[in-house]
């Protein structure tokens, strides 16, 4: 009952438009999971700690303009994390170098395919350990010729860095036991000398 003399309160009805605008302006509408086949071959390609997640588009969706969303997980943590630059993308790779920059941690990643309001289940990578799995790129090689000698200088590649202005870090600083196998051939004498050096900078002097 209402108090005497007070008008009855009418229920507040929001215009239908206000109830609908949240979908296009906010996050994407959730998709129906399992409606599409999953992406395949979810793997990390890592060179000098530049860690890129790659995958193959679902075989049954060739020619269909699907998009993909990626999440990653730090081993030992409790929840999956989003990569905003890899949400609803059309390419089949995602650069997770910044998210996996601590090479002593281990990581997982997962990706799903999306088409309209349908999506696949998550396809998950294996555990990724950058310190053990990154590939070390070839060193820079500089040759200096003398009258009867040759100097070979090898410089280890640099580790991936987040910003160009960051101080460069040699892969030699991360892997102190990094070794180079150097073979120098003398075409005149048909003689080859093979040496192994442990260090970022190598000098080899050979008499002709």
What's the full length of the chain, in residues? 208
Residues 79 and 38 reside in one and the same domain: yes
Q: Whole domain around residue 196: which residue ranges?
A: 140-205
Residues 126 and 146 reside in one and the same domain: no
DSSP string, 176-196: TT-EEEEEEEETTTTEEEEEE
DSSP string, 114-139: EETTEEEPPEE---B-HHHHPBPPPP
Model confidence over 90-116: pLDDT tens digits?
Answer: 999 999 999 999 999 999 999 999 998
Model confidence over 140-160: pLDDT tens digits?
Answer: 888 777 777 777 788 889 999
Q: Is residue 66 part of a domain?
A: yes
Residue linked to tokens 């601590």: 102
Question: What's the structural domain count of the chain?
Answer: 2
pTM of the model: 0.77
């Amino acid at each position: 009952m209402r108090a005497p003399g007070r008008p009855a309160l009418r229920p507040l009805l929001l215009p239908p438009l206000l109830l609908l605008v949240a979908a296009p302006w906010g996050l994407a509408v959730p998709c129906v999971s399992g409606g599409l086949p999953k992406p395949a071959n979810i793997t990390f390609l890592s060179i000098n700690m530049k860690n890129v997640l790659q995958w193959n588009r679902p075989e049954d969706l060739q020619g269909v303009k699907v998009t993909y969303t990626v999440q990653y997980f730090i081993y030992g943590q409790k929840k999956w994390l989003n990569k905003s630059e890899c949400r609803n993308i059309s390419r089949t790779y995602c650069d997770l170098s910044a998210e996996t920059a601590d090479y002593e941690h281990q990581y997982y990643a997962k990706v799903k395919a999306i088409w309209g309001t349908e999506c696949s289940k998550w396809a998950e990578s294996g555990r990724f350990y950058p310190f053990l799995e990154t590939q070390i790129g070839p060193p820079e090689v500089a040759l200096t010729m003398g009258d009867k000698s040759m100097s070979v200088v090898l410089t280890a590649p640099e580790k991936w860095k987040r910003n160009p202005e960051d101080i460069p870090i040699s892969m030699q600083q991360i892997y102190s036991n990094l070794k180079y196998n150097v073979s120098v051939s003398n075409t005149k004498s048909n003689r080859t000398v093979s040496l192994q050096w442990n260090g970022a900078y190598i000098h080899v002097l050979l008499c002709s």
